[in-house]
Copies of this chain bind each other. A is one copy, B any other.
Amino acid sequence: MLDTGLLLDKVCQHAREIALLESTNALLGWDERTLLPVRAGAYRAEQMTCLSGLIHQRSTDPQVGEWLDQLADSPAAADPHSDVGATIRQLRREYKKKIKLPQSLVEELTRTAVLGQQAWVEAREQDNFAGFQPLLVRIVDLKRQQAAAIGYSDCPYDALLDDYEPDAQTSNVRDVLDGLRRELVPLVAAIQDSGREPDRSILTRNYSVDRQRSFGTQAASAIGFDFERGRLDVTHHPFCSSMGPHDCRITTRYDERFFPGAFFGTLHEAGHGMYDQGLRTEQYGLPPGTYLSLGIHESQSRMWENLVGRSLPFWQYLFGAAVSSFPEALQDVQLDDFYFAINDVRPSLIRVEADEATYNLHIIIRFELEQALLDDQLQVGDLPGAWNEKYEQYLGIRPPTDADGVLQDIHWSAGLIGYFPTYSLGNLYAAQLFAAADAELGGLHDQFARGEFAPLLEWLRTNIHQAGQCYPAAELVQCVTGKSLSHEALIAQLNSKLAPLYGI
């Protein structure tokens, strides 16, 4: 007779052991990007390759596959949304995907990704796409191999997208982003024709790095990031990574002459971090205690960065403290002018510094280029040209260098192809979830003006964080907001903020 409880214990223990190794690999990766001595890169790649190979080997243990098959047929799996049902479904899903990947490919992808990131840092610094090209060719080739091994029905991109946004289809994402673009282009045009613009110089005055650090840390604490269970450090490319249920690390980068970069970057990464910190710790390593998708992850970061951090009430609460922290830069500045400046809409070159309205055009460019690369309609060597043309076409500006163009993001060098669209999905999820929270809780903006962020965080904990992977992302959003994902909430939110600022 089948002892479901015993089998379940076994697969859970197995998953928790894998999580111990994966979180160790996360530390190797975090440290690689944050602290590693310059000459230690090659060995670090070998450490991560070794551990990834070991994790893959353990994850694909046929014994575990048998247990999962048996559990899938048992009554325990009957409710797919229960903790147990979701555990069985998701572990089996991952297992079936992983056994399609040869261990040698997993190891080679890991090694190339670590070395790729190291090469990218240098290539970007030296504006040297040609030097980086052979590595990128190798990465694209490996990702094609991965897509072929995993399999797909429509296009290779589907197979890669699934790593970041499980259950999403390229064609659906394309439809949603098309809808978004159709609304965004006229909105951006209207803003550019409005004749209004903020005084941007407010934000490029002198903001001491030490004070930025302490002000950003204070703000991250205020919205709910728990520094007893996390850290904030400095890196070249900001990110958030968790290496345990109580160890979530965010990073940022400071520029003494540009306030928004580090500040909104910190709120953004803190938003990611608060999702990780809101997961159920007793389920760490198991699907109910694991983040749902990168789109949902990004919805949390973008919500705290933009829907909270760039709102007027947030600054009604915090502007006084900002003036005290940066008196030389801000003592003669009015709140309204500051608020307009941090919501400046303007086509620009760098994705991570783009405003809320044009940001998604940056993503659409990458999404289209990635598909063309995987479909073999674009060669890596032609990428810089194709990039520049699309920026001309969608944003009306042309990067003067590859460093500010095709080399600006770390993702491809790290093997992250299929990842970018989750940023726009995140924006869409964020707007739709925020509207639902506001409707349910009532007056979020009034709360922000009083420095009260706990109600929103609590709502997110209950509705999103603690759900883990019990529902697929599309279903969870339908369930929580009563609607399937569309561009409407985001466009409504942009209009309600930007129309008064630009008089459109």
Chain A residues with CB under 8 Å of chain B are: 17, 20-21, 23-24, 27-28, 31, 35-40, 42-44, 46-47, 50-51, 54, 227-231, 244-248, 284
Residues of B within 8 A of A40 (CB): 229, 244, 246-247
Residues of B within 8 A of A28 (CB): 24, 27
A interface secondary structure, majority: helix
**Min distance, Cβ A106 to any Cβ of chain B, angstroms:** 16
Q: Do A228 and B39 touch across chains, with their CB atoms under 8 A apart?
A: yes
Q: Do A43 and B228 touch across chains, with their CB atoms under 8 A apart?
A: no
Q: Do A38 and B247 touch across chains, with their CB atoms under 8 A apart?
A: no
Residues of B within 8 A of A24 (CB): 24, 28, 47, 50-51
Given known A50-B17, A227-B37, contact A245–B27 (CB-CB < 8 A): no
Residues of B within 8 A of A42 (CB): 246
Distance, CA A247 to CA B24, complexed state (A): 17
Closest B residue by C-beta to A233: B35
Q: Which 9 A-B pairs have the closest CB atoms?
A: A40-B247, A43-B244, A39-B246, A20-B50, A40-B246, A39-B229, A38-B228, A39-B228, A20-B47
Distance, CA A248 to CA B40, complexed state (A): 9
- Provide a sorted-by-A list of 7 A–B residue pairs whose CB atoms are within 8 angstroms: A20-B47, A20-B51, A21-B51, A23-B43, A36-B247, A37-B229, A42-B246
Q: Do A23 and B37 touch across chains, with their CB atoms under 8 A apart?
A: no
Distance, CA A28 to CA B247, complexed state (A): 13
Given known A36-B247, A40-B247, contact A46–B27 (CB-CB < 8 A): no
Distance, CA A231 to CA B199, complexed state (A): 43
Residues of B within 8 A of A54 (CB): 54
Given known A31-B31, A40-B229, A229-B37, contact A47–B244 (CB-CB < 8 A): yes
Other-chain contact of A247, B21, B37, B228, B244 (Cβ < 8 Å): B37
Other-chain contact of A27, B23, B31, B37 (Cβ < 8 Å): B31
Closest B residue by C-beta to A242: B40
**Min distance, Cβ A4 to any Cβ of chain B, angstroms:** 26
Q: Do A246 and B27 touch across chains, with their CB atoms under 8 A apart?
A: no
Residues of B within 8 A of A31 (CB): 27, 31
Distance, CA A38 to CA B37, complexed state (A): 25
**Min distance, Cβ A245 to any Cβ of chain B, angstroms:** 6
Given known A43-B244, A43-B246, A50-B20, contact A228–B37 (CB-CB < 8 A): yes
Distance, CA A447 to CA B165, complexed state (A): 63
**Min distance, Cβ A259 to any Cβ of chain B, angstroms:** 25
**Min distance, Cβ A136 to any Cβ of chain B, angstroms:** 25
Q: Do A43 and B245 touch across chains, with their CB atoms under 8 A apart?
A: yes
Distance, CA A122 to CA B27, complexed state (A): 25
**Min distance, Cβ A57 to any Cβ of chain B, angstroms:** 11
Given known A31-B27, A43-B246, A43-B247, contact A50–B37 (CB-CB < 8 A): no
Most chain B CB within a 10 A radius of its CB, from A23, A228, A247, A248: A247
Closest B residue by C-beta to A34: B35
Residues of B within 8 A of A227 (CB): 37
**Min distance, Cβ A221 to any Cβ of chain B, angstroms:** 13
**Min distance, Cβ A208 to any Cβ of chain B, angstroms:** 15
Distance, CA A28 to CA B245, complexed state (A): 15
Distance, CA A248 to CA B227, complexed state (A): 28
